[in-house]
Amino acid sequence: MKRLSRILKIVQVFARYRLDTLFLSLSLPWYIRILIWLLPWRFIIPANKPEAVRVRLALEALGPVFVKFGQMLSTRRDLLPDALAEELKKLQDRVPPFSGIHAQQLIEKGLEQPVSELFAEFEVEPLASASVAQVHKATMRDGREVVVKVIRPGIGKTIRKDVDLLFTLARVVHAVWEEGRRLRPVEVVAEYEQTIFDELDLRKEAANGSQLRRNFEHSEILYIPEIYWDYTRSNVLVMERIHGIPVAEVDQLAEQNTDMKVLAERGVEIFFTQVFRDSFFHADMHPGNIFVSRENPSSPRYIAVDFGIIGSLTPEDQSYLARNFLAFFKRDYRMVAQLHVDSGWVPADTNVDAFETAIRSVCEPIFEKPLKEISFGQVLLGLFQTARRFNMEVQPQLVLLQKTLLNIEGLGRQLYPDLDLWKTAKPFLENWMKERMGPKGVYRSIKQQAPDWLEKMPHMPQLVFDALNQVRNLDNSRQRDIRAYQQAKDEYENKSRRRHYAGVLLIAAAIIAGNPQVIDYLQALPATSWVLAFAGLLLLFKRS
């Protein structure tokens, strides 16, 4: 019954915001187009606002699960038109807080102690609220200020039902729309499903936060709050409370004389450090999750929170991506195209010359300009869109990277519009490549692999002996196959010759039967001639 009411709610929102107009320009089967034209609300409700705006309003009306899905889609510029992606970026996770008393009960149940024993102070009024969880301020017994994050009650079941509906809609899109197969809507929903259900387990977020904190321990450019594991469960997370200025509050940053140029450059440095040094990057770095420390404005330090979404790259992806960026800086578009083929991001039979030309048309206009005039993220986006024309498969790790880079670039433009992101990033990438490919990198690789080599060394003689045996067995097997092939070939040739001689004899018999003179001649032959002819035939067939 609840599922039916949810479907009716979706239909109602679909009609209210006239989402049917989205489908009229698509290449749909004729019977689907007729059904859309006959929808009754088309003749009652006008479609006054732009389509992108109506999609955003519809998602907000459907609730938090659809809002978060729209937020995720806004990062998939490879799938959506630019106007729709920009509108979806405006989606706000506005959800009223649930009862603070109920939240306290959930915390006590999760930690198996009353809050009066867990904390010296606990504020029942929530500090912030979102679709999946809400946050309360508290003070530990030793005076440390913390925030307590608690998962909304029953949110798991709500998400499950809505995600199931999204899967149903995705399958319909895949079935009736020609472009559906290319956009792979079922895979997009599956990616969203994994992301949102990961957010329901706060231990995963806590683990991500702990790893980031270790990676930037004693760092002067980024601070990660401490996670209190003794007070963390799947539905409760206790973390150090931070005090900083939201990075979007430029006026407050200016009031304390923050060095905006340094702040913007450090944002770029943090991004490339996480991606290339650690291969573990905060993939949800929108302004709501980033703060700036009030200490030492001349050497500003970022503070990051909310570690539910983390990205990582394989060593191969790191290398190919770094070489791609450096090839961009050098305008070596041939190298960019070849790297896409070598990495397997595009098919091996891709026309590299045509791909190079397409990349040049995207990248050439952007060089030697300040950040306020160009968009590094848009260049990366343009490259991915170009590559998709050459059948590039969606790479989830690169999508997260693109999203993070767009966020970082947005922060840089807001803080210091004249920042030259290329100039800031190029030395970092060159140094990383030298360390990875130079003598130090080779030594580090050997040092890392040496224990495995030493462990396998005693087994090497046996492995070599087994390999030689396999080679010898393969050689013997090949010789047997050759002999069998030759024997079969000989038998086939013998049978062919027999059929040939039999055919000759039949033709001769036909000639004899049709010629009385030949018959008279044969009848006059002596018996010895017939014996010799028969013996000759026997020898002929025996040889064949």
- Continuous segment of H or E residues that includes residue 319: helix 315-329
- The answer to whether residue 284 is catalytic is yes
Q: How far apart are CA 168 and CA 118, in angstroms?
A: 44
Q: How far apart are CA 323 and CA 44, in angstroms?
A: 57
3-state per-residue secondary structure call for 144-198: CEEEEEEECCCHHHHHHHHHHHHHHHHHHHHHHCCCHHHHCHHHHHHHHHHHHHH
> Which regions of 352-486 does DSSP assign to beta strands (E)?
none
Paired strand residues for 292: 245, 302
Q: How far apart are CA 144 and CA 542, in angstroms?
A: 105
Tell me which residue of 231, 86, 102 sits closest to 155, measured CA to CA: 102
Cβ neighbours of residue 429 closer than 8 Å, sequence gap 6 or more: 272, 276, 322, 325, 326, 329
Cβ neighbours of residue 509 closer than 8 Å, sequence gap 6 or more: none
Catalytic residue among 78, 284, 306, 317: 284
Q: How far apart are CA 434 and CA 436, in angstroms?
A: 5
Tell me which residue of 469, 312, 308 sits closest to 398, measured CA to CA: 312
| DSSP state letter for 289 | G
**Catalytic site positions:** 284
